[in-house]
Structure 1
Amino acid sequence: MARRGQLQVLHALDEAKTQQYHVLAVVIAGMGFFADAYDLFCITLVTKLGRIYYHVPGNEQPGKLPPRLEAAINGVTFCGMIVGQLVFGWLGDKFGRKMFYGKTVMLMILGSVLSGLSFGNTAHGVMTTLCFFRFWLGVGIGGDYPLSATIMSEYANKRTRGSFVAAVFAMEGFGILAGCIVTLVVSATFQARFNAPAYEEDPRASTPPQADYAWRIILMVGAIPAVFTYRWRMKMPETARYTALVARDAQKAARDMSKVLKVEITGEPEVVESITKDRDYGVFSRRFARRHGLHLLGAVACWFVLDVIFYSQNILQEEIFSDVKWVPEARTMSALEEAYRVGRAQAIIALCGTLPGYWFTIAFIDVVGRKAIQFLGFAMMKGLMLAVAALYGSLTKPGRRIWLVVMYTFTFFFANFGPNSTTFIMPAEIFPAHVRTTCHGISAAAGKVGASRGAVGFMYAEQKADGSEAAATGYPSGIGVRASLFVLAACNVLGILFTCLLPEPVGRSLEDVSGESGGQSETMDGNETDVADSQVLPL
């Protein structure tokens, strides 16, 4: 029975046993994230084929994308994601979660297909159109973040809500793995068909003209999972929490959830009127700042720091692959073989570190709590990065390289069994319904600002540096893997500190955590406050 002041429909959602609609919601939202991750991470593999356009005849080394151009290709997607997260986050609170849920998928489908069809009369022309289409792909991917997280959190029950939202995000791991597998299949197929020699054997033949099709196919395959997702998303009902608490239509919320839960639920317009009275304050109001300002700061800062670390990890692994001889020098391979070898190495990391980390989060997040997992992830990444940085010279010697790979793989494990998952989950739980997707979008956008600063900045610095700097510093190349790891270890310390600003949502309803119910809600100083007296509280 719902307690006094709580809507029956929300109580029914909180107490519902795990059933078919939970699984269906995970699949619908998760397939979007599968496509998101595929589109986002396969570009690292695709850029290995950049020497198709930037080969310099007579050069001893194969061509590659200019540093500024590679940074632009990666950075423009992040810029699109920032726009999508902010715009669709606001739209999700203004017009509903479902209304624009299909639109984000359409942008992803069009962005993937058109990226593969990038055109131009010159190399720069092709890359310019690729950047244009990748921007709009990023808008669709970005919009998927606040909408998917919020829809899943508002559909789930309070006992297993964390696991369900984590399961949606875990599809990112399968998307990364799928990108590696498609790259392996496509590059191996073209390599077998055209038998391209190594660059040092025959520079011109090492990159056959047909390889131009390879990167286009890899990009366009990303549209396939998004196509299957579109119809399901259009058939989903609006979440009851938006309908009741934001649109304030108690009868429609009850009707929709009666069909979903297959139970009879009564609409309670008088209760809706009571609990939503005087709650129309915005994210930039003084009332929001007093109630949730520190929570938003914590969510924004943690996601920013995490993405600086996470996307920099993905850039640094390329150097580590080279130092442990997993990926030979580019001049000893054809362009297709280079893409194949990098894809194979990344697939191993995904299977051994990335995927297990996501699924450990699903298993334990509703047992030990979000903050504990986030603290653990930041702390373990800090320790592992310091150890790898301190021992890097000895770990790159023959016979010890496997330990370098193992330790670095564990940094990915604890990123995903840690803040990479929890920073996605908590913003969908700790804010009121009428600003939930907006706050999630702001938090996610801050993360992508961090990603662009981390991934693009590290990439450009590494490619800009020359061999004399590497010799002077003793580092493999650029600013050095060791120096980079020391910087990232310090970022983890900041993540630990900012986590202290966040409340713990485990086992509590969304309304309790955000202060929208008639029960107990946690204030920013950690004290319990009776929300029944909400009219005199600084909400």
Structure 2
Amino acid sequence: MAGSQASYRSTAESGEAHALETNNELAALETRTLGWTQIRTCLIAGAGFFTDAYDLFIINIASSMLAYVYFGTPNLPKDWDLGIKVSTQVGTLIGQLFFGWAGDRFGRQRIYGFELILIIIGTIGSALSASAVHGFNVLTTLVIMRFVVGIGVGGDYPLSASITSESSSTKYRGALIAAVFAMQGFGILASAFVSAIMVAAFKSAINNDINNLDLAWRLCIGIGAVPAVITVYYRLTMKETSRYTMAKVKDAERAAAAAAEEDESLKAKLVPTESSGAPTAPVLSSSDSPRPSGITEDRRVSYLAERDVDEKDAGTGTDGGGHPAPRTSQGTHFTTAPAAVVAPTEAQSPGYWSSFFKHYSQWKHGKILLACCVCWFSLDVAFYGINLNNGVILNAIGYSSSEDPYENLHQTSIGNIIVNLMGTVPGYWFTVFLVDRMGRKTIQLMGFGILVVIFIILGFAYNAMLEASVAVFVVFFTLAQFFQNFGPNTTTFIYPSEVFPTRFRTTSHGLSAASGKLGAIVAQAGFSQLRDIGGTNAFVPHIIQIFAIFMLIGFGFTFFLPETKGRTLEEISGEDEG
């Protein structure tokens, strides 16, 4: 028992030493000034969101071009329009869930960049979709490729948000995460500019033969692969975040403590006698402790950050589940071991999901996950309901209703530029500059509240406003874009990267973001099916009224969320409580 007690003391002392080491590293991270490392991380993550937004919203003008080429009308048939737009959202939802889980399972760095590879493959595949002027082959292929793009876009949400959050000091964290997301605004604006330039460049060709738009829409979509190709190398070569690495070490030390507290009968099973192999009382030393042998204290952090996947890939020295089997004093491996003996990240442990559900079954934690999910769902019903149908709305108010294909496409492109330049982009950057001053909760409540009022006005005064002045409608429509982004569209992205513990962060962010995409799917399906009830675009004002209801729901659930301004991630999530 003397050896066992010595082992426990050794484990406790190493835990205390690591606690001090962890606190020192966190202190250094929190006092870090805004330098090139944080800016570089922000740029690499933001470039991906630029690509994401471009790929998502270029489909607005591309779908109109497709409609002219394959159907001779300014709009695709409902089913095809819905299929092309919703396939991306479904893929995004799946990508958010999968990459969210994978970020906790394998580490952020190990998979960061693969989501961009999927975007590149899907974007190029979309641009090269099989062409059949009198058939649907091109549209079927496009639906499939847009689904692939969506999976990649979805992966960007939990990974980029968590990496930026975990790499930032408290002072600048909100602004940096918001800046990453704000690159969406530039991506949306770029899609509008590219479409306008492409339409102008093809003016003569369009007037000569409408089928020349078949090349124009392919170029519009294909350009989206360029920023992704430029960025993918930098993502694949990024280092693991310090907080994730430290969380892995903490999990390993929890396992060591758990092993030390096992009762005598269980510990006896871990060490055979030298003569017969029958279990005897454990004889533990520092080399026999649950930490893998040969790993010194100064190498422990880097080892734990790299160990799990390497050992699983090698297929040696494991218990069949990718975990190192415990060793006897002679160095031989057992074939089984209690899960507590070795603890990689919790996402890799057999009890990860039970731990996950146990954590969120507590109302103090569960209400935060619920609020993040409901707020993001509510916001995206309106955000994507409007932004994926800008052309339809502009056409409905008579802004881009020309019978001439060139004029209609040109007016739609210019209308998108005006709305995005005046509303979307400024809204994002107001949040960047004010989020660490005003706070996340204040901005989210303000945004939801103002959007309730705007959508009520637009919905109930729709016809009267259009009869009086289309310009007045455009002003309110632009204000809606502004307060979506200087409001819940940005804060619903920031919150999940701050309020969840490190071991569950990307999984929880993925769940929150996927809830948003479910809202986007509902919005797109609903908008497509409802808009022509009572006549062409006759139901649009009632759809806007429905948006107001969802904004009110988001406003209410925001009260479940804490204010995270000026607080460390460990303080917010409760990780500093042990």
TM-score (norm 2): 0.77
Q: 1:375 aligns with which of 445, 448, 452?
A: 445
State yes or no: 1:14 paired with 2:30.
Answer: yes
Code of the residue aligned with 1:287 in structure 2: it is H
Paired amino acid for 1:289: S
- How far the C-alpha of 1:285 sits from its partner, in A, is 2.2
Residue in structure 2 matched with residue 360 of structure 1 by the alignment: 430
RMSD, aligned α-carbons: 2.5
* Aligned equivalent of 1:350: 420
Deviation (angstroms), 1:403: 1.5
- What is the rounded CA distance, in whole Å, between the counterparts of 1:322 and 1:64 in structure 2? 10
Map of 1:289 onto structure 2? 361
SS in 1 for 2:193: helix
- Give the counterpart letter for 1:111 in structure 2: G
- More displaced, 216-225 or 246-255? 246-255
Instruction: Report if aligned partners of 2:167, 2:241 keep a CA contact under 8 Å in 1.
Output: yes
Deviation of the 1:17 alpha carbon: 0.7
Contact 2:444 2:491 in 1 (8 A): yes
Q: Is residue 460 of structure 2 the alignment partner of residue 387 of structure 1?
A: no
The structure with more radius of gyration = 2
1:481 and 2:540 equivalent? yes
Letter in 2 for 1:485: I
CA contact (8 A) 1:373 1:417 kept: yes
- Quick check: 2:245–2:301 contact (8 Å CA) kept in 1? no
The Cα offsets for residues 251-305 of structure 1, whole Å up to 9 and x where unpaired, read as 579789xxxxxxxxxxxxxxxx99x999975464223321511111001111100
Matched, 1:40 2:111: no
Post-superposition CA distance 1:472-507 (Å, at most 9, x none): xxxxx4452321121111111100111111121111
Q: 1:218 aligns with which of 208, 213, 220?
A: 220
Q: Could you give the per-residue CA deviations for residues 348-375 of structure 1, whole angstroms, max 9, x where no partner exists?
A: 1110000010001011111111111000
- Counterpart AA for 2:81: E
Offset of residue 53 of structure 1: 4.3
From 231, 241, 247, give the equivalent of 1:239. Answer: 241
Q: Which amino acid aligns with 2:574?
A: G
Amino acid at match of 1:484: I
Aligned to 2:145: 133
Question: Does residue 460 in structure 1 map to residue 529 in structure 2?
Answer: yes
Q: Is contact 1:184-1:344 (8 Å) kept?
A: yes
Alignment-mate amino acid for residue 226 of structure 2: I
What does residue 197 of structure 2 align with? 185
State which drifts further: 29-38 or 507-516. Answer: 507-516
Give % identity: 38
CA distance in 1, matches of 2:61, 2:440: 33
Structure 1 gaps, min length 5: 57-61, 198-204, 257-272, 471-476, 518-530, 535-539
* Residues 1:52 and 1:482: Cα distance change in structure 2 (over 3 Å): closer
* Counterpart in the other structure of 1:228: 230
Q: Is this contact kept in 1: 2:129–2:142, CA < 8 A?
A: yes
| 1:434 corresponds to 2:503 | yes
Q: In structure 2, do the counterparts of structure 1 residues 10 and 491 end up closer, same or farther at CA, with 3 Å as the change threshold?
A: same
1:399-418 mapped onto 2 (5 Å cutoff): 400-418=469-487
Matches within 5 A, 1:99-118: 99-118=110-129
The residue that corresponds to 2:404 in the other structure is 333
**Match for residue 98 of structure 1?**
109
TM-score under structure 1 length normalisation: 0.83
* Alignment match of 2:554 (pick from 488, 492, 495): 495
User: Which 5+ residue runs of structure 2 have no aligned equivalent?
Assistant: 1-17, 253-296, 304-341
What is the Cα deviation at residue 195 of structure 1?
5.3
1:163 equivalent in structure 2: 175
In structure 2, relative to structure 1, the CA distance for the partners of 1:187 and 1:253 (3 Å cut) is: farther
1:80 maps to what in 2? Answer: 91
Equivalent AA in structure 2 for residue 169 of structure 1: F
In structure 2, what is the Cα distance between the partners aligned to 1:12 and 1:252? 19
Q: Distance in 2 between matches of 1:221 and 1:44?
A: 15
Question: Structure 2 counterpart of 1:286, which letter?
Answer: K
CA contact (8 A) 1:302 1:498 kept: yes
Q: Which residue in 2 is equivalent to 1:521?
A: none
Aligned pair count reads: 472
1:95-126 CA distances to partner (integer Å, 9 max, x unpaired)? 10011111011111111111000015453111
* Alpha-carbon distance between aligned partners in 2 of 1:378 and 1:72, rounded to the nearest angstrom: 29
Say whether the 8 Å CA contact 1:84–1:139 is kept in structure 2.
Answer: yes
